[in-house]
Structure 1
Amino acid sequence: MGRVTAWNTDHDVDLLLAFLNTRDEEEHTDVLDDVEQWRLWARKRDIGEPGDPADLRPLRDALREAVAGREHAPDIAVDLRAELRSGIPVLAPTTAAGLFMAAALRLTVVGDWDRFKICPAHTCQWAFYDRSRNRSRSWCSMRVCGNREKARTFRERAKT
């Protein structure tokens, strides 16, 4: 084994967001509904053996529930190995589920798990990563979902 390279937080954020957003509420699509679509998705992200997408749906849905802060998020167990590489302990996932869980664990350890959020717009529900300094961002996009919500509440106030 070669030298352990520096861990990249952005890679974990991007990977986890992509996984959380394999379901699209606006388009009514789910990458995990189609084996070939899942394999293409996984290949684009350099995920070795992607496994059966149906096996990953409970993990994705549980992670989305947890990100949304819902108390009824189901408990999920994922087999995950740890190894000592070049004198450094590292998570060594052996499955796609392990890869996603390892990313979530690393981001939890560095205190960034709470930066993952779900857009509250019912037609959106997109997962996003809050990069604001005070972690107060509410919408996936202020230009789209935030603007729609503000316009809707303005119209409701104008009616009364």
Structure 2
Amino acid sequence: MRTNAPELGAELLVSFLNTLDVEDDVDQLADDAGHRRWAAEHGLEPGDRTTARHARDALRAVVDGDAAALPALRLPVVAAPGSVDLSPRTSADAAVASALVLSVQGKLGRVKLCGGEDCRWAFYDASRNGSRQWCSMEVCGNRQKARTYRSKDRDGS
């Protein structure tokens, strides 16, 4: 069994998707130092930064409901009696492996990008019916509802 492997799933995938902060215009994968820092925080090797950015951008498109081509990766597999595990080493490998695990579990659709156009933060929708639209109802949901209200008020509706 793997001992120092990252925990694959929603938390790792959401964290990887959020290496791009649209609201603050910060990309943790824009330079090697940021990429190495994120990978180290998750117990991973950074791997190729260009591949990581490609994987991140493709996965953001996928969770946003668009088709996207993922980079070609080699995901190491470890087989033991009674189990088969993915054993990713790099940031891109771990993110794609997490998306694959969630997809097999039928939960990838619960990873979403915030509906706020100025936000686009990734989050895991743990609501009962999976209908959450914003990363935070208090911030982004409230902003959108205020915009909708003001728009209707201007139109005289």
TM-score normalised to structure 1 length: 0.87
- SS of 1:90's partner is strand
- How many Å apart are 1:80 and its aligned residue? 1.1
One-letter identity of the residue aligned with 1:133: R
1:84-125 deviation per Cα after TM superposition (whole angstroms, max 9, x unaligned): 124411112243322111111111111110101111211101
1:108-159 deviation per Cα after TM superposition (whole angstroms, max 9, x unaligned): 1111101011112111011111100110111111111110000111111122
Q: C-alpha separation between the residues in 2 aligned to 1:78 and 1:91? A: 12
Q: C-alpha separation between the residues in 2 aligned to 1:91 and 1:124? A: 32
Give 1:100-139 correspondences, 5 Å limit: 100-139=95-134
Aligned to 1:13: 10
Structure of higher RCO (CA pairs closer than 8 Å, 6+ residues apart): 2
Aligned length: 154
Q: RMSD value over aligned CA atoms?
A: 2.1
TM-score normalised to structure 2 length: 0.88
Task: Verify the 8 A CA contact 1:4 1:86 in the aligned structure 2.
Answer: no
- How many Å apart are 1:4 and its aligned residue? 6.0
Runs of 4+ in 1 over 6 A off after TM superposition: none
Aligned to 1:66: 62
Identity %: 45
Listed as ranges, the gaps of 5+ residues in structure 1 are none
One-letter identity of the residue aligned with 1:57: R
- How many Å apart are 1:50 and its aligned residue? 0.9
Task: Verify the 8 A CA contact 2:17 2:56 in the aligned structure 1.
Answer: yes
Within the candidate set 69, 75, 78, 1:80 is matched to: 75
One-letter identity of the residue aligned with 2:92: A
- How many Å apart are 1:43 and its aligned residue? 1.3
One-letter identity of the residue aligned with 2:124: Y
Q: C-alpha separation between the residues in 1 aligned to 2:147 and 2:114? A: 16
